[in-house]
Each structure stands twice: as C-alpha cells, then as structure tokens.
Structure 1
C-alpha cells in the first residue's frame, strides 16, 4: 500500500509576484470514523462493537474535558494532546494578558511508533 499524492501549484506567500511552483500534496484515500474503529477493535478483541464505541466516545469526552482544564493528555504510545496559544508580543511580562491571545490550537505530538511510520511510508503519484 502507498500514500497517494498529486502535484499542486502554490504561490510563494512572501513574494506573490513570483511564478507558482508545484509541490507534492498527499491525497486522503477515504476516512475511518469512530463507528468503523469500534467495529475493527471488536473484531480484534472479545469486546462488543457497542462497548468499543462507548469507550471511544468516553475517551473523546474526557480528552475534551482535560484539554479545557489546560492539561496535557498522554495516550501512551499513541502520543500527547496539548492546548497551545499564539499572542501579540509586549515589552514587559506585566503587559501580557489574555486579550493578547490571537489564536488557540490543539497540538498533537505523536508517539515513537507513529513517528516511525512516516519513515516506512511509500508514495504513489495519483493518476
């Protein structure tokens, strides 16, 4: 199996007057949702599909609650989730407050096995 990619034209955001260049862009080949994951997990274990689905939904809910509380969510070998923010800069520490935050995002730091997966991938240009 290979990850498919296509050539995609992009402008240089630092100088939009330059001609476009083409870059490889990965193409998603379908989706896997919680229901499919629950079904797959149930086939690999003695747990029912509905029990797997309930656990996955509970995992999602608990990750959300923990991230809202500012916690790092460690999922073992899978990796970690954490909230990160960007803000405007100020000259002194005292000037920094919540109103300067311009963007919040969720960071995912993959575990070792997921990071190693990237080195094992093969690629195929989509036709």
Structure 2
C-alpha cells in the first residue's frame, strides 16, 4: 500500500510496517493492516468488488502511533463494516476499485487506498507443490 486518503487527509504510507491487500485468482482477498491478518471472499462487480465471509485476527494495537492507527482503520474498512447488532450477519462490504497499470485504487466509506502490484498471489489454501524424497 502506498497511499491513503481518509477523513484526516492524505498521507504516503511507509513501507514498514507492511500494510497490504492481496487478491487470489480463486476468489480470496487477504490483508495485513499492520497488526492483524484479514481474509474474506470477494466477488467482482461492475464497479469493484464485494467482500463476504470475513475473518480478522484480534491482536489490535496500543493506539500510541496515530499513523499506524490510520493505516489499520483504512485497511480494515475494505473488509468490515460496523454492525448495529450481533444477531444479524455482518453487513456486506462493497468496494469501488480502479486499476490503472500496476496501481489499484480502492474506495469505501470515505477512505481511499492506493496499492501497487508487486506480483501474483498463488491460490489461497492450495499449497505449492514441493519436491519430496523417499527412501
């Protein structure tokens, strides 16, 4: 992730601590908000994608780094939406996406993220074959 624009303004995202969002060819979206791993299923729409079946780690942060807190909130907003009740399924998250060359811009709920492609993700949950020796 290289850029962030939210209610506080624009900022360049530092390379460390390594926030990212990845998409697999078999329909998973994976994230790292710098403190928690996130994953969900995505479905492409005419304007971007919809995220469902989200799981997120529960580490959190101490709240002592405002830059990191903004990054965490921005990445998380692309996966989850606040729910007013615990008895209903979580709301579906709809993200607008624009791909220009190797730059992907995601927008949702007043937050815009800019990501740069660094490679191709293998299918999630499908291990890469490795050589084995017997005998």
> Would you call these one fold, judging by a TM-score over 0.5?
no
TM range (shorter): under 0.3
Higher strand share: 2
Higher helix share: 1
Q: Normalization by structure 1: what TM-score?
A: 0.20
Larger Rg: 1
Q: Normalization by structure 2: what TM-score?
A: 0.19
